[in-house]
A = this chain, B = another copy of it.
């Protein structure tokens, strides 16, 4: 169908080995032949078959990316950053969506392995078992705040527990007394860590909150709305007076629930989200939220993966020391700190609703 190296060999009168060399600028070729072969190739509209190349080179120049949910702006923004990095490094990106389902995640992992990706970037839908990951003989970099670090698998992540702490602390500082935590997906490591931070501060403040104040659910506006409504339906003296939400979507749902109940966001009920999506800063929203350094996270993950690839491809002897030294470095700075962006949804003196 498509024109191959043999076609252009026939047409140019050279053997296909010479054609291959010429097209790949290997040295040891007569400038004239080179010119002629390139001309013929151009004329015939030749495009190398990367499938065939990959088969022999054992490299695909392809990275697989697995995220739980592409509809979530957090992940689509992460994807955007990673894609930009991939472009710059001349890698293609194969994307997969686990839909927060560990079984599907494993399936995608297998698939990426079968397609012989050079490496994998994984944002797990579940706390990850590093050993299991090691089975895939591919360099994998995992986005999470877990601390393990073995084999081919590396971790980079956000310090979500710390994030949960400063967010919750901020709520208390602002004068709210009974913050509730509207979590995300039940198994989401990020959500779990943020919850831990929330609990740390609640304990420190020595407040005792009902169990119902901690909930999990989808990372969506609707889920936030529903859960906030439920909590707000409690008696005024025992219901929450603030929501720490596992992401901005949930927070926006909560905001909606608050206003619908005739309460004022900020003045009556404080709200803080996580992610700092572009909409959070709009004058009509002004959501207090944790900013996650997504571009930086993407970059770290990408660089880490590239390191892994380099180690793998190169020597095997020297890699041990290199690895040791580089992972030490990593350990020191591998958790990125989110920062609190204070806006009006946690402002008790806020006028407009």
Contacts and interface: CB of A to CB of B under 8 A. Distances in A.
Contacts of A62: 94
A73 B73 contact: yes
Interface stretch (A7-15, A24-32, A76-84, A157-165): A76-84
A94 B94 contact: yes
A34 interface: no
Contact of A92 (B76, B80, B115): B115
Interface stretch (A46-54, A191-199, A303-311, A326-334): A46-54
Contacts of A6: none
A116 B54 CA distance: 12
The oligomer's copy count stands at: 2
Interface stretch (A120-128, A167-175, A255-263): A255-263
Contacts of A47: 110, 113-114
Interface in A15-73: 45, 47-52, 54-55, 58, 60, 62, 70-71, 73
A115 B76 contact: no
Interface string A90-107: 001111110000000000
Nearest to A79: B70
B94 A93 contact: yes
Nearest to A222: B278
Given A116-B50, A282-B252, A282-B256, A95 B97 contact: no
Residue among A71, A77, A255 with the most chain B CB within 10 A? Answer: A71
A350 interface: no
Contacts of A131: none
Interface string A280-300: 001111000000000000000
Contacts of A324: none
Contacts of A71: 76-77, 80
A116 B51 contact: yes
Residue among A70, A79, A113, A252 with the most chain B CB within 10 A? Answer: A70
Contact of A282 (B94, B95, B114, B285): B285
User: Nearest 9 pairs between A and B by C-beta?
Assistant: A76-B76, A284-B284, A70-B80, A71-B80, A279-B279, A50-B114, A50-B115, A51-B54, A47-B114
Interface of A: 1-2, 45, 47-52, 54-55, 58, 60, 62, 70-71, 73, 76-77, 79-80, 83-84, 87, 92-97, 110-111, 113-116, 135, 137, 221, 249, 252, 255-256, 259-260, 278-279, 282-285, 352
14 contacts: A1-B137, A50-B114, A50-B115, A51-B55, A70-B76, A71-B77, A73-B73, A76-B79, A84-B97, A92-B94, A93-B94, A94-B94, A95-B95, A284-B284
